[in-house]
Amino acid sequence: MQEPERISVDYAVVGAGVAGLRAAIELARGGRVLVLAKGNFGESATAVAQGGIAAALSDEDEISLHEQDTIRAGDGLCNPQAVHVLVEEGPQYIQELIGWGTQFDRTGTKLAFTREGAHSRSRILHAHGDSTGWEISRALIAKAATIDEIEMRPQSFTIEIESSEAGGVGLRFLNERSGRVARVECRAALLATGGLGQMYPETTNPFSATGDGMAVGFRAGAALSDMEFIQFHPTALAAPKAPPFLLSEALRGEGGVLRNAMLERFMPHYHEGAELAPRDVVSRAIVSEMKRTRSTYVYLDLTGLNEEYVKKRFPRIYSTCLTYGIDITADMIPVRPAAHYAMGGLKTDLAGRTTLAGIYAAGEVAATGVHGANRLASNSLLEGLVFGARAGKAMIEDSPASHGARKQGARGHKPGTKQNHPHSTSHTSDGPAPGSSSHPAHGPDEKPEPTLDKIREILGIHVGILRERKELTQAIQQLDAVEMTAPHRPERRAWEIYNMWALARVVARSALAREESRGSHYRSDFPYHDDEKFACHSVVTREGPVRFE
């Protein structure tokens, strides 16, 4: 039998979204860096992010206001230190992005800002109208490709990670081009694999969002935190035969309104912020209106806005909806909530350190407490940028022996060259072009998968926007009854399903343990805050039950 490929580098980064790429750029100052992406570069959740990136950069804004808005949206569960770091350091990293060639939209020579739900100021930067994530991803990939110390490997699916008390980290990944498993040994590794939305029946997440980093870290012994907090985006496209394509909150920020099946505007009855209320409020209001009117969707109405402005401001959304027979400038758009973002993840400190030595996490895979119980719109790209850089710095500082490391590629050749990018095309190097649609919940090549369908059905019915004890208990029982074991063969899809099953059990258990309603977690049997017991974070490890601390 052929020996598995063995790779030795200073640092490994698993994931190639904004957090992973920004960390890799930082880590290159300290030695050789291997970046593993399970798909092609430019296919991350970052690349399909529409709305924008928030920062207090305009003359009418203040960092303290961004801080207040973030904490208010987090519904009493934000880590104030994490929030302060986010809003204080965010502007400098955005200016850095601009210096690296990121083309944010402008009005004349000035940056253009828009407003989204729960923001008190217009502070959302966007690019190509509604392709902000694509532009940021393009710029970071281009920057990383200029750095000799960075090797970027696509189609490399991480299966296992382990840390040693003696120092150092090992991980195994499946090279999908060769079908073989390789082993990487490094001083430290960063997990930056994004979210877990694909375990729900309807999600705005890309096909790659299967919770791999959370599951890999959890199996290795790292703690997960706040896993009960799953944010549902209020407005995903609900047209017949259409995937749940995300319709950016910026549509409502620009004046779009929500109407029920009887064409009545309803959000002013639920919250003083109306369509710009926090996402959890809007999602629950939509569910309530759907039940009240016995409909499977509500409408997002942009017909009162200027037609040419809408086409220019939201070109990707306009073109995607048009393929499903909907002209968003003239037709009302059928929408309903879909799983969107995980506030929880691997428990970390403000430098990305998990509870396991040598293993770090940043971006959606991590739980720094910056989002609390409900993420403020357009803070996710900012979090990846800020905490990706902070994690990179900490990884170097925590392993001083890496200074002066040999500047040579992981396999002895110069990293960052074309030979390390066998699928290096305009798509993989630059990301998807503006105007391309978000990945559907079920990928175009996905075959029927009864086990995954069952997991999705359980979560959709019992662990959705509205929750209660009986439903959550049934979910746990049904998930426990699913016959799942760790795959014996290195098959990516088998591992993805195994990862989603493991995380689904943690989400359901965490939701049952939190006997209150807060942010995105709403218990109809406990409809109010219980600050005495639950103004704290849930924590789960592989060895024990859910605890709060």
What secondary structure does DSSP assign to 17-60, as a single string? SHHHHHHHHHHTTTS-EEEE-SS-TT-STGGG--S-EE-S-STT
Judge whether residue 486 has pLDDT over 50.
Answer: yes
Burial category of 432 from C-beta neighbours within 10 Å (exposed 0-12, middle 13-18, buried 19 and up): buried
Judge whether residue 117 has pLDDT over 90.
Answer: no
| Mean pLDDT on 529-537 | 97
Judge whether residue 284 has pLDDT over 90.
Answer: yes
For the chain, the C-alpha Rg in angstroms (whole number) is 22
What is the per-residue pLDDT for 399? Answer: 86
d(CA 411, CA 100): 28
Q: Is 279 in the active site?
A: yes
From residue 256, alpha-carbon distances to 100, 304, 316, 463 in Å are 34, 8, 17, 29
Percent of the chain as helix, strand, coil, to the nearest 5: 35, 20, 45
Q: What is the DSSP letter of 238?
A: -
d(CA 136, CA 145): 14
Strands 359-361 and 188-191: parallel
Res. 46 pLDDT band, cuts 50 70 90:
low
Q: What percent of the chain has pLDDT over 90?
A: 76
From residue 498, alpha-carbon distances to 150, 441, 451, 459, 538 in Å are 31, 17, 9, 15, 23
Task: State the CB neighbour count (10 A cutoff) for residue 99.
Answer: 10
> Which domains are assigned to the chain?
5-228+343-430 (3.50.50.60), 235-337 (3.90.700.10), 450-538 (1.20.58.100)
What is the per-residue pLDDT for 42? Answer: 63
**pLDDT averaged over the chain?**
88
C-alpha dihedral, 136 to 499 to 157 to 144, nearest 10°:
20
Q: What single letter denotes the amino acid at residue 187?
A: R
Res. 238 pLDDT band, cuts 50 70 90:
very high
Name the catalytic one among 123, 138, 187, 279.
279
The alpha carbon of 487 is separated from its chain's Cα centroid by a whole number of angstroms, namely 26
What is the per-residue pLDDT for 166? Answer: 74
d(CA 90, CA 412): 36
Judge whether residue 155 has pLDDT over 90.
Answer: yes
Nearest in space to 422 (alpha carbons), one of 42, 46, 41: 41
Nearest in space to 507 (alpha carbons), one of 467, 447, 450, 452: 467
User: 123 versus 447: which is more confidently predicted?
Assistant: 123
Burial category of 60 from C-beta neighbours within 10 Å (exposed 0-12, middle 13-18, buried 19 and up): exposed
Q: Treating both helix axes as pointing N-terminal to C-terminal, what angle do 80-99 and 63-73 enclose, rounded to 10 degrees?
A: 130
The alpha carbon of 176 is separated from its chain's Cα centroid by a whole number of angstroms, namely 23
What is the per-residue pLDDT for 193? Answer: 96
CA angle 320, 323, 327 (to 5 degrees): 80
Res. 43 pLDDT band, cuts 50 70 90:
low
Q: What single letter denotes the amino acid at residue 4?
A: P
Give the HSE-up count for residue 284: Cα atoms under 13 Å, Cβ half-sphere. Answer: 20
What is the per-residue pLDDT for 423? Answer: 31
Structure tokens at 45: 């959740």
Name the strand (E) or helix (H) holding 144: helix 132-145
Q: What is the DSSP letter of 349?
A: -
Is 4 in contact with 170 (CB distance < 8 Å)?
no
pLDDT tens for each residue of 165-199: 778 999 999 999 888 999 999 999 999 999 999 99
User: 349 versus 167: which is more confidently predicted?
Assistant: 349
| Mean pLDDT on 510-527 | 97
Give CB contacts under 8 A, 24+ apart, made by 467-473: 467/511, 467/521, 467/522, 467/523, 467/524, 468/523, 468/524, 468/525, 469/512, 469/523, 469/525, 472/508, 472/511, 472/512, 473/512
List the strands of the sheet with 33-36, edge to edge. 150-153, 33-36, 11-14, 188-191, 359-361
Task: State the CB neighbour count (10 A cutoff) for residue 346.
Answer: 30
Structure tokens at 535: 């103004």
| Mean pLDDT on 453-471 | 96
C-alpha dihedral, 111 to 117 to 121 to 124, nearest 10°:
-20
What is the per-residue pLDDT for 529? Answer: 96
Between 86-95, 126-135, 504-513, the lowest mean confidence (pLDDT) is in 126-135
The alpha carbon of 471 is separated from its chain's Cα centroid by a whole number of angstroms, namely 26
Task: State the CB neighbour count (10 A cutoff) for residue 349.
Answer: 18
Q: What percent of the chain has pLDDT over 70?
A: 89
Strand (E) positions, 432-525?
466-467, 522-523
pLDDT tens for each residue of 293-322: 999 999 999 999 999 999 998 998 999 999
Give the HSE-up count for residue 323: Cα atoms under 13 Å, Cβ half-sphere. Answer: 13
What is the per-residue pLDDT for 24? Answer: 98
Res. 524 pLDDT band, cuts 50 70 90:
very high
| Mean pLDDT on 12-28 | 97
User: 12 versus 116: which is more confidently predicted?
Assistant: 12
What is the per-residue pLDDT for 400? Answer: 64
